[in-house]
Structure 1
Amino acid sequence: MVQSSSNQGSSKPEVKGDLKYDSKVIQKIVGIALSDIKGLLTVNGGFFSNIADKIVNSDDVTSGVNVEVGKKQVAVDIEIVAEYGVDITKLYDQIKQKIQEKVKEMTGLDTVEVNVTVVDIKTKEQHEKDSVSLQDRITGAASDTKDKITDQKDKVQDKAEEKKKESKESRVK
């Protein structure tokens, strides 16, 4: 009797396919990775993005992050605002390292290029002041107005209570 050692019944067919990343995914990875780098105040999204951020609060981490995504590699271009007094060359090295690390860790893609343009430097205080949006200002103004109206309402109620007490006092002595 001859035994056959065929694995036809037990082998699984190879599944074919392709894994691709939309540029938005890489932009988010980069944007989130940069969020905790000391000395990096913001990634600059350009004129219209900055105007939009001035009007409404935005948590868009992809703003100002441009990427080119290939099958095995990624190239990144960003414009930043650095904190005054920080060694910008060290900041650049940290940015490159963090981007390379996170992109590789999450996607397996190699970062082959990171281009950083420093478009401004500011103190933390100046950056925070400049980051206040129109939405924040309107919210603050509405809160102030509400407080003033509440104060006026309380004064009117106090006066009304006084008048009520006076009218209850006996007119005849």
Structure 2
Amino acid sequence: MTEERENGKIKIESDVVGMIAGLAAVDTDGVASMSGGITEGLAKRVSGKNVAKGVKVEVGETETAIDLRVIVKYGYKIHEVARNLQFNVKEAVESMTGLNVVEVNVHVEGVEIQKPEEEEKTEETTLRLK
């Protein structure tokens, strides 16, 4: 986005929009992490520090379109997580940048299955004994 003002230009880079979208996405309940894409493999999944991973943004003069690749936590209704994700990302990007978000496409690439803490402790103990 580039905006001409009498004092100069304001330009918002697509990386900035991607970072805002990524932060809003990982803050959405039910999202386990962002995904770098199926082609990058599950080893490339990221969360927290590199939230722009798994986010593709196209920015025009006044509008933007966003694609998100996410891993959803097991037990959550995927369609509800996706709807909430669309709303949260749209709200965050529009309020922080002034851009009109025309679409937020959500690609669910996996489900994260958490083991109960008791099982994890048992497995850790077993591994140490061997």
TM range (shorter): 0.7 to 0.9
Residue correspondence of structure 1 range 148-163 to structure 2 within 5 A = none
Indicate conservation of the 8 Å contact 2:21/2:55, yes or no.
yes
Matched, 1:27 2:44: no
Identity %: 32
Structure 2 counterpart of 1:89, which letter? H
Q: Flag the structure with more relative contact order, 1 or 2, with Cα contacts below 8 A and sequence separation at least 6.
A: 2
More strand by share: 2
SS at match of 2:9: coil
More helix by share: 1
* Higher CA-based Rg: 1
CA 125–67 in structure 1, closer or farther in 2 if over 3 Å, else same: farther
The residue number in structure 1 matching 2:6 is 15
TM-score, normalising length: structure 2:
0.74
Distance (Å, rounded) in 2 between the aligned partners of 1:20 and 1:50: 35
List gaps (5 residues or longer) in structure 1: 1-13, 127-173
Matched, 1:70 2:60: yes
Aligned length: 112
Pairing partner for 1:113 from 70, 84, 103: 103
Matched, 1:59 2:49: yes
Matched, 1:38 2:35: no
1:101 is displaced (CA, Å) by 0.7
Residue correspondence of structure 1 range 78-117 to structure 2 within 5 A = 78-117=68-107
List gaps (5 residues or longer) in structure 2: 117-130
Indicate conservation of the 8 Å contact 1:43/1:80, yes or no.
yes
Indicate conservation of the 8 Å contact 2:18/2:55, yes or no.
yes
